[in-house]
Chain A
Amino acid sequence: MSLLALFLVVAGLGLIGWLTARMRAVAFRRGSTARFSSLPSHFGGYVALWTVLPAALFLAVWAATSPALVTNSVLKDPIAAQLPPPGFDRAAILSEARSLAAGTSFGAFNPLAEKLAPAYAVAQTQIDWIGTAVALLLVFATGGFAYTRVRPDFRARTKVEFVVMGGLLAASLIAILTTLGIVASLLFESWRFFEIVPITDFLFGTHWSPQVIDPADPGATLGAVPLFWGTFLIGAVIAMIVAIPFGLMSAVYLTQYASGAARRWMKPILEILAGVPTVVYGYFAALTIAPAVRDFAVSIGVTWASSESALAAGLVMGVMIIPFVSSMADDSLAAVPASMRDGSLAMGATSSETIRRVLLPAALPGVVGGVLLAVSRAIGETMIVVMAASGVATLTLNPFASATTVTKQIVDLLTGEAEFDSPKTLAAFALGLTLFVITLLLNIVALTVVKRYREAYE
């Protein structure tokens, strides 16, 4: 029986357990005047959990271990003595025999695989039978045990709720597991990278061209400083030059000046700007903005301007960030006590004077925190730079020159045809780790600033 079918059978038996236990509980409650701690459905749930959970756990473990068991029993077969020693060839023959036995492929490349296939089929059937038998035995044993405990004085609710609570806790632990998974996978692959390339070469080297890696000195062409600079130039300088004034001024206008109707209309429109997928921005940047920027550069006399300039990517990224800055500024302005604004207006200041000299200075920490969050989002943004920025790493101050970013390089490195262990692919993980650490630090600093500021006015 296949694993999926077995799972379905177990689930069906669980349902039957639920129904019978519930019926029994309904029966003993009928006519009784005693007070029960549990509802019939609790008894049902108790029996169903006992029926399904142990068997399901067993099946999960079984699914992971049974292939190894099958292979082991095949290796005891006399034909298996002809197998080459453990290594790539042996694994290839075994996997071929396995797919022959399972019927997913017809005809084998290796004659030995064809000879091993019957042994595989036999072992597979045997192991499958053992698995099915143990699973069904578990279902009936644990389910039956639970059914015998369905009695009026049994506190089924406590038990069921204990399991539910465990499920809730497990669900919230997934977040920690994900974080750990990210950190572990990035650290592990980066560690392997730094075994090949010295970390100082990577962090402080100024020459980046991963297409040509010298095996004798791989660090010479894997210096990431131009990437960090390009990321900073596009994400933290050009994008912010667009996003901060636009975001801040729209927040000011929408919260302080606009009428209710205008606010109701304009806020969702700005939010749409944040909801447009980045691949659309990237396409727009590459198709429309980049040629326009180039033409503009040529018209002001920069004849060598790149058609994949830092400016084009940065401008579009800035527009993408506007709603983000705007909503952060909105929150900070709303947190400023009304008394400060009222006081300023009562002294005779105009609205703009109040905003510029009272509200904005008071909201400044919140705005700064918001801008830091926006920077962290901009430097992690991928599709716009993948589509509109160039792949050439240059250390330049000129916005019309081409610049590349960390995210763009990660995509370029990992979508080539290189094998998984080359310094090229591992470099992508080292870049990912750097990006992760920088965004994490930015976020922590920003959230601390925002929190302190909130507390100051509460």
Chain B
Amino acid sequence: MSETLVAQLPVGPAEPAERAPTDWRTQSMQRRIRQRYAAERRFRLLGMAAVVLSAGFLAVLLVTMVYNGASGFLRTEIALPVDFANAGLTVDPARLKGPGADLALAGAGVENATKTAAIAAFGPQGSDLLSDGAWLSVRAAIKRDPAIMRGRSIVWVPASDAIDIAAKRTGSPENEAIVAHFKQRNAIATGFNWPFLTASDSNDSTRAGIWGAFKGSLFTMIVTLLIAFPIGVLSALYLEEYAPRNRWTDLIEVSINNLAAVPSIIFGLLGLAVFLGTFGLPRSAPIVGGLTLALMTMPVIVIAGRNAIKGVPPSIRDAALGIGASPIQVVFHHVLPLALPGILTGTIIGMARALGETAPLLMIGMRAFISAPPAGLSDPSTVLPVQIFLWSDQIDRGFVEKTSAAIIVLLVFLLAMNGIAIYLRNKFETRW
């Protein structure tokens, strides 16, 4: 239709007055307008559909994760009658107070006693109904109240993977039957899965938790922040405030802009070759992960920092220079404090990206099975996203909900960080 529109335009020095005015009331004209309006509506709907579908995809993603993961925060417990008096536990009650209690009880054979109790209570396959970590609950119960050692007592212990699934969702028919049987006797209960938040990785999905990975993430992020933030802010200040325009500063600018677009896995290769290969730092350690992610995050901070510094009006600098401040004083006393909210916003966004990053950390070996939380920066550890990746590879059905639950935890942290960034931006953003 617009071909005709173009064709109607007067070409050259024609006499426009000669042309008869368009009669909009003719049927063909009306039809044309109707068609154009319909096209307009269609286009508009297409745009709306694009936005709604994109948001819909996000919604599906989140709903899937919540649906799969919500039950990961719950765990099933079974009431296990234990005959402590005849369990043959030889332990000195005096040692149950104080730090040696765990060791004393482990040596006393609590694990075997738990198994025997399960077989006595639930039949020959009884110990399969319980999680591998069931004896830990028995141990905790003894520590809480050593008096129960003298008689029979009921201890709530975590159920095995298959029973757990059958109680919370739909398991195999036999397990469903077992759960129904327990339910009749009120011997099964579902509660909040504290071990999920306090334990580390494990082969048994009922014992696996995210604390180890969380601590690893925390250490890694601390290293990243301590390195990337100062270097990023200082180089943003230099480039924006002091750098002379020459080939060298151009080179710095080009490298920073390119580093921001380099695929993250390349930084992993760099960490592998330089930090592990050349410097010989320990594998799987938060310090190496932090260094690698710092190199990745630094360009983000520099770019955000430069934009924030650019936003400070020149009049501030002129006024400070005018009353005798030196260039360094101008920047550190006046420009930097005013630009800080913007820089912090950029930093938080960069850190959020680093927190969700997986690929470079796989390269430097943070994908090992680590069953104890790291105690220091050079201990082997893993991080939350890598833990998610490792669990996603597990065939065990119990790990599906654990993976999704870990994803929920990760997303909550990322949303919180982004929320803080948006809050900071809105609260401190100054329009000059």
List residues of chain A with CB under 8 Å of any chain B CB: 157, 161, 164-165, 167-169, 171-176, 178-179, 181-182, 185-186, 188-189, 245-250, 252-254, 256-258, 266, 268-270, 272-273, 275-284, 286-288, 319, 322-323, 349-353, 355-357, 373, 376-377, 379-383, 386-387, 407, 410-411, 414-415, 420, 428-429, 432, 435-436, 439-440, 443-444, 447
Using A257-B47, A273-B58 as known contacts, say yes or no to A432 and B238 having CB atoms under 8 A apart.
no
Q: Give the chain A neighbours of B255 by CB distance below 8 A.
A: 175-176, 178-179
Shortest B340–chain A CB gap in Å is 17
Check if B238 sits within 8 Å of A172, measured CB to CB: yes
- Near A by CB (< 8 A), chain B positions 240-292 give 242-243, 251-252, 255-259, 261-267, 269-270, 272-274, 277
Using A161-B328, A280-B65, A407-B263 as known contacts, say yes or no to A175 and B256 having CB atoms under 8 A apart.
yes
Shortest B252–chain A CB gap in Å is 5
Shortest B288–chain A CB gap in Å is 14
Q: Give the chain A neighbours of B65 by CB distance below 8 A.
A: 280, 284
Q: Which one, B238, B263, B295, B389, contacts A387 given CB within 8 A?
A: B389
Q: Give the chain B neighbours of A245 by CB distance below 8 A.
A: 50
Q: Give the chain B neighbours of A168 by CB distance below 8 A.
A: 234-235, 237-238, 242
Task: Output the nearest chain A residue to B352 by Cβ-Cβ distance.
Answer: A275
Task: Output the nearest chain A residue to B42 by Cβ-Cβ distance.
Answer: A352
Shortest B256–chain A CB gap in Å is 5
Check if B54 sits within 8 Å of A319, measured CB to CB: yes
Shortest A421–chain B CB gap in Å is 11
Shortest B279–chain A CB gap in Å is 10
Using A186-B269, A280-B388 as known contacts, say yes or no to A275 and B418 having CB atoms under 8 A apart.
yes
Q: Which one, A174, A379, A386, A415, contacts B235 given CB within 8 A?
A: A174
Q: Which one, B259, B272, B277, contacts A175 given CB within 8 A?
A: B259
Check if A386 sits within 8 Å of B53, measured CB to CB: no
A353 to B261 CA separation, bound complex (whole angstroms): 35
A-binding segment of B79-87, B101-109, B355-363: B355-363
Q: Give the chain B neighbours of A440 by CB distance below 8 A.
A: 258, 262
Shortest B172–chain A CB gap in Å is 21
Q: Secondary structure at chain B's binding surface: helix, strand, loop or mixed?
A: helix
Check if B50 sits within 8 Å of A246, measured CB to CB: yes
Kindly count the residue-residue contacts between A and B in the assembled complex, taking CB atoms under 8 Å apart. 246
Shortest B418–chain A CB gap in Å is 6
- The winner among A175, A386, A411 for most chain B CB atoms within 10 A is A175
In the complex, 10 of the A-B residue pairs with CB atoms within 8 angstroms, ordered by the A residue number, are A249-B49, A257-B48, A280-B65, A280-B411, A282-B392, A283-B392, A376-B261, A380-B265, A410-B363, A447-B257
- Near A by CB (< 8 A), chain B positions 41-62 give 42-44, 46-51, 53-55, 57-58, 61
What are the 8 closest A-B residue pairs judged by CB atoms, nearest first?
A: A380-B263, A277-B356, A253-B47, A172-B235, A249-B50, A171-B234, A185-B273, A352-B43
B422 adjacent to chain A (CB < 8 Å):
yes
A429 to B390 CA separation, bound complex (whole angstroms): 24
Q: Which one, B51, B239, B410, B418, contacts A270 given CB within 8 A?
A: B51
- Near A by CB (< 8 A), chain B positions 315-367 give 326-328, 352-353, 355-359, 362-363, 367
